[in-house]
Every structure is written in C-alpha cells, then in structure tokens.
Amino acid sequence: MDLLSNAITAYRLRWKRRRLLFRALRKRPQLRCIVNRTEQIEKSDILGAVTVRNEMMRLPHFLDHHRRLGVAHFLFVENDSDDGTREFLAEQPDVSLWTTPQSYKLSRFGMDWMTALQARYAHGHWCLTLDADEVFIYPHHDTRPLPALTEWLDRQGRTSFGALMLDMYPKGKLSAHPYQAGDDPFAALCWFDGGNYMIQRKPDLQNLWIQGGVRARCFFGGEPRRAPTMGKIPLVKWNRRFAYVSSTHSLLPRRLNRVYADDGGEMASGILLHSKFLNVVVEKSAEEKRRREHFANSDLYDGYYNSLIDDPDLWCRASTKFISWRQLEAMGLMSKGNWV
C-alpha cells in the first residue's frame, strides 16, 4: 500500500510541477525588461535571483555582501517601487532588471516571475534565490567563497543546499535604531532567539517545516502553528524543469528538498540572516497591512501587523547576541557536515 501511495503522490507532484512551469510561462509577459546584461553571464557563474519592492535601504549592503561571497550576476524583478529601487538597480553593472506593476500575491509571491527568468537564464548554474531582507551565510563563508562551496556540492552529488532563516532584532524599540543605506544591518539587529524551534518533515514534499524564533514567540504565542516557516532551500543547481512551490521553502522535484540527513548524521547547511526588523518595518507594516500582498490569508495577520505598527521591543532575557557563524554552528542552527 505504501508503494502505491508513493506512486500516486509522485504522479500528482509531477503534474503540479508542470502546472507551476506553465503558470510561469503565462506570467512572463507581465515582465518588462529595463536592462538585460545576461550576455555577461559565464558558464561557471553563480547567479542571484531576487524580487523586490521599495528596498532601496537594504540593497547596497545586500549586493555588496553577496558580491563578496561570489555571486557574479543578479536577476532582479522590481515590483512597482517608488523609492528609487528601480533606478538604483538599473545602474548596477552586474544586474539584469525586469519590472512589473502586477500583483505580487497573484504571482505566487513573485515565484511565477522568477521561475520564468530562471528557466531562461539560470539553467545549469548554481542560483541563490533570496529576498532583499535575507543575507546568506554558511560555514567558513568568511574565508571560503561561494564557488568553493558549490564546487564541493558538485563533488558530493548535491544539487541543493538548505538554510534556516534566522530573525534578527535589536534591543529596545525598533524605531530607536536608525539605519542608513549601505550600513551593516546586523550591527543593530544583533539578537536572535536560539532555542524555541519546532521541526517536522512534510510527508508529501519531504521538506523540513521549521517554526519558531522571535515571530513565533512575540506574535503567534497563542497559535504557534500559524507562525511563519523558517526552513528554506535558497541555493540550487538550477534546471529549467525545476520550480519552487512555496517561496523558497520547498521545490519540485521533491528530491531537492532533502537537504538534511535522515541517518542520524548532519548535512552541511547555512543561515539566512533576516533583517525584517529594521526600524523601517514600523512604517512598512502599515502599508503591507493595507496592500494585503504578503500572505495567502491576509486577514488572519492583521494582529501581526498591528503589533509591528506599535513599535515593539522584541528583546527578552533569553535572547542571544550574535557573534559569528561558529556560534550558530555550535548551537546547532547550521552545520558544517563534512564540509571542512
């Protein structure tokens, strides 16, 4: 019976992947090219793929960090910004940029747009798919560039690499920590929740469903199962037949979701340092609540937005101050595995 059930699930997921790829093809005409520099992409280049709206504050540091890691070219979709994001990105020599005024929510939160671009430009490349408020780190990232990691993954026969999204926050009111574009956001956002995570494996997609952190503690304490999921798979050796299912939390084919060891050991993994709780989140939350573009059931998250609009202090006595990737590895939030 298990064999039959697995066969039925595999068949259903194959058709789901085809539907997602077809959706992306249909949504591609929504994208208008601002500047296409993809002719610069070399065969061995690592690519970045990002959908943004009004992220001018974060972009200088975001680009600098990931350039230093070894991302050679970025594919950006800009969604109707009015803060200079589009103009800034168009000037960057390693960025190809498309824009659209269409609904972020109705494009599966940007994944339809990005899947269309990845199918055309990222096939055969390692591709790092991120939000602008995510900064990717991994064991030895300070001394070993991203090409060293992807070359090792190739030798291991791995085509995907998982990461825990770690919500970072300041001590004190969010608005009390002003931020200037280009600064390191984690100079102020230097605290995190280290030990309140719940983890389960989804039986169909076989991805890890991880919940916890400061958002579960402060905003979903009464209903922790409604808290956002924190497990992501941002780094993938892309193929035009791949598709993300839910943000970067899961992919199809589902073998790409097995970024964990199931034999009692550990597989190398990373961290996405999440800068959502910069001071600008107080003002942005009012706009996000009005636009209702960021959650499938937006009405259920009114209380979450209201709490952010009230400019909370997320710090508590159990908060942990961030020191380095080695600290996160020692705490079990990321792993070196056999990457040495």
Instruction: Per-residue pLDDT tens, the chain, 340 aa: give them.
Output: 488 888 899 899 999 999 999 999 999 999 999 999 999 999 999 999 999 999 999 999 999 999 999 999 999 999 999 999 999 999 999 999 999 999 999 999 999 999 999 999 999 999 999 999 999 999 999 999 999 999 999 999 999 999 999 999 999 999 999 999 999 999 999 999 998 899 999 999 999 999 999 999 999 888 888 889 999 999 999 999 999 998 999 999 999 999 999 887 899 999 999 999 999 988 887 777 777 666 655 555 677 878 898 999 999 999 999 999 999 999 999 999 998 7
CATH code linked to domain 2-330:
3.90.550
Q: Tell whether pTM > 0.75.
A: yes
Residue appearing with tokens 């959650």: 295
Task: Determine whether 165 is exposed, middle or buried from the number of CB atoms within 10 Å of its CB (0-12, 13-18, 19+).
Answer: buried
| Tokens matching residue 6 | 């697995």
User: Cα(308)–Cα(281) distance, rounded to whole angstroms?
Assistant: 7
Please give the backbone phi and psi of residue 138, each rounded to the nearest 5 degrees, phi first. -155, 170
- State whether residue 103 is helix, strand or coil: coil
| Tokens matching residue 120 | 């055309």
| Tokens matching residue 34 | 């601002």
User: Cα(20)–Cα(112) distance, rounded to whole angstroms?
Assistant: 8
| Tokens matching residue 93 | 């020599």
- Inter-axis angle of helices 2-27 and 111-121, nearest 10: 90
Side chain identity at residue 24, one-letter code: A
User: Cα(316)–Cα(64) distance, rounded to whole angstroms?
Assistant: 31
- Among 147, 171, 175, 13, CA closest to 69: 147
